[in-house]
Amino acid sequence: MSREIGYIGRGNTIRRKLQQDGVDLTEDQQAAVTRVQVLFGDYCIDTDVVADPISYADGVVEFQPGLVTDVAVGDYEARILAFDAVTPQGYAWGQFALEMRAWDACP
């Protein structure tokens, strides 16, 4: 399982390209995705929630886990769900290890 690192309070972006059997989605498949969620621990960020730090375009999910409200330091298993018009319950699209770290700044 691949691993990503998020930094609490920081805007670092994690990018994940949606693939099927190791192959990038076709343009039609990319366009069919209507919503994406990333779940880790008790946290869920959703492209349908305007304030959430996540976006989807052209087969790529970008999110900033460090900007999630009250996110805690720790190791998580992050899961991606992708939705389309004919599958409102969503597809389990993949998972990866996510480590959330504190990253102090100057006062």
Per the structure block, which two tokens stand in for 84?
A: 């389309």
**Distance in angstroms (rounded) separating the CA atoms of residues 23 and 91:** 16
Averaged pLDDT, 99-107: 94
Q: Distance between CA atoms of 40 and 82, rounded to whole angstroms?
A: 15
- Give a yes or no: residue 44 inside a domain: yes
17-31 in b/e form (b: 16+ CB < 10 A) is ebeeeeeebeeeebe
In a domain, 96, yes or no: yes
Q: Is residue 94 part of a domain?
A: yes
Query: For residue 40, is it within any domain?
Result: yes
The model's pTM is 0.92
- Residue 107 maps to a domain: no
Q: What is the 3-state secondary structure (H, E, C) of the chain?
A: CCEEEEEECCCCCEEEECEECCEECCHHHHHHEEEEEEEECCEEEECCCCCCCEEEECCEEEECHHHCCCCCCEEEEEEEEEEECCEEEEEEEEEEEEEEEECCCCC
List, for residues 10-53, the tens digit of each pLDDT value: 999 999 999 988 899 999 999 999 999 999 999 999 999 999 99
Domain count, the chain: 1
Find the domain containing 16 and state its range.
Answer: 3-102
> Would the pLDDT of 1 be above 80?
no
**Average pLDDT of every residue of the chain:** 95
Average pLDDT over residues 73-77: 98
In the prediction, which pLDDT does 39 show?
98
- Domain CATH code at residue 51: 2.60.40
